């Protein structure tokens, strides 16, 4: 039998209670028609095509189960077209913007908030991975961390998004944040980063909520708003523009090389172009040997 995470079940129940039970007729399952599904979807106020598709996928699965159980001859969702949608491109912060944010946070918020933000900007972890990281995952001898899971909707997960554990090498900025955080949570063990207001592990929604430090910091510093997940994109793009190997960065982020190139193609191309032009400029301003008369006269 398929086992679902508690967080997944909670999301399914929320969708059923707040959408499908309201917009889909409450009748026998074998009398639900294709047009009923379309009518229900037409009443949704979708934030994106992806959210509409998520709703459709969930209800399609329910009807498919009924079909395989012999209650239906056909799944009424089978011919419902999925909405087209485009994944939003990375919107990273420039390194100068990162320092502006960190300076503001250090002056106006708890040191724990500053430690967490600095660590996330300079490791590229997913938000759920960062708040789920434990002291036992840190190897101070080799300056690396082991990423095996995270916290999603306040539930501890034993796997990453890609279901592959990875090791992430720590640079000096990330190590500095960890070292400073030791005085707050190291002796207690468990999770590294705590919300100073609660004294407990960060809740995912507390990072993204507009009333918390993230949105306020961006507003007060006059920067353009970007969601916290772009701390991950910032790490990747800073690395690319510094000349780091894309394959190395892909491994750090937990991507395949193909996925990494798909996501960060614009920055890979830009970094490569700048480096190649630097080589040309270096040659132009160096000692370029003259063509010999014999070679220059050749046709």
Q: Is residue 125 part of a domain?
A: yes
- Do 237 and 148 belong to one domain? yes
CATH of the domain at 203: 1.10.443.10
Domain span at 24:
7-68
Does the global pTM surpass 0.85? no
For position 85, what pLDDT does the model report?
A: 66
Sheet holding 144-147, edge to edge: 138-139, 144-147, 166-169
In a domain, 288, yes or no: no
Considering only residues 20 and 186, tell me which one the structure prediction assigns the higher pLDDT: 186
Rounded to whole angstroms, how far apart are CA atoms 96 and 287?
36
| Pair (106, 235) in one structural domain | yes
Residue 272 pLDDT > 90? no
The answer to whether position 264 is within a domain reads: no
Same domain, 161 and 206: yes
Calculate mean pLDDT across residues 123-135: 93
Using a pLDDT cut of 90, give the percent of the chain over it.
Answer: 43
Instruction: Classify burial at 46, counting beta carbons within 10 Å of its beta carbon; exposed 0-12, middle 13-18, buried 19 or more.
Output: middle
Same domain, 16 and 146: no
Per the DSSP assignment, residues forming a β-bridge with 200 are: 195
Mind listing the pLDDT tens digit for each residue in 164-196?
A: 789 999 999 999 999 999 999 999 989 999 999
pLDDT digits (tens, 9 = 90+) for 72-94: 889 998 988 888 766 778 999 99
Q: What is the mean pLDDT of residues 273-283?
A: 73
pLDDT band, residue 292 (cuts 50/70/90): very low
Q: Single out the residue of 52, 39, 38, 36 nearest to residue 84, CA to CA.
A: 52
| Residues 277, 171: Cα–Cα separation, whole Å | 28
103 and 242 fall within a common domain: yes
Domain count, the chain: 2
User: Do residue 64 and residue 120 come from a single domain?
Assistant: no
Which is higher by pLDDT, 114 or 291? 114
Residue 262 within any structural domain of the chain: no
């Amino acid at each position: 039998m398929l086992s679902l995470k508690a967080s997944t079940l909670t999301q399914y129940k929320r969708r059923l209670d707040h959408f499908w039970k309201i917009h889909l007729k409450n009748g026998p399952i074998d009398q639900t028609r294709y047009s009923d599904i379309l009518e229900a979807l037409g009443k949704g106020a979708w934030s994106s095509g992806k959210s509409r598709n998520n709703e459709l996928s969930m209800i399609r699965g329910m009807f498919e189960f009924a079909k395989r159980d012999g209650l239906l001859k056909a799944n009424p969702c089978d011919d419902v077209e999925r909405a087209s949608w485009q994944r939003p491109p990375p919107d990273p912060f420039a390194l100068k913007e990162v320092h502006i944010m960190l300076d503001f946070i250090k002056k106006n918020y708890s040191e724990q908030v500053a430690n967490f933000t600095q660590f996330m900007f300079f490791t590229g972890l997913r938000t759920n991975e960062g708040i789920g990281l434990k002291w036992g995952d840190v190897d101070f001898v080799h300056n690396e961390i082991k990423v095996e899971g995270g916290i999603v909707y306040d539930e501890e997960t034993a796997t990453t998004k890609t279901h592959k554990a990875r090791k992430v090498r720590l640079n000096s900025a990330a190590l500095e944040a960890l070292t400073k955080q030791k005085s707050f949570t190291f002796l207690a063990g468990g999770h590294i980063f705590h919300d100073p207001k609660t004294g407990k592990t960060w809740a995912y929604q507390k990072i993204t909520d507009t009333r918390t430090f993230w949105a306020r910091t961006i507003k007060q510093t006059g920067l353009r708003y970007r969601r916290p997940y772009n701390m991950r994109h910032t790490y990747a793009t800073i690395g690319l523009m510094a000349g780091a190997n894309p394959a190395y960065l892909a491994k750090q982020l937990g991507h395949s090389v193909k996925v990494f190139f798909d996501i960060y193609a614009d920055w890979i191309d830009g970094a490569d172009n700048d480096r190649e032009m630097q080589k040309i400029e270096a040659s132009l301003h160096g000692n370029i040997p003259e063509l010999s008369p014999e070679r220059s006269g050749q046709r």
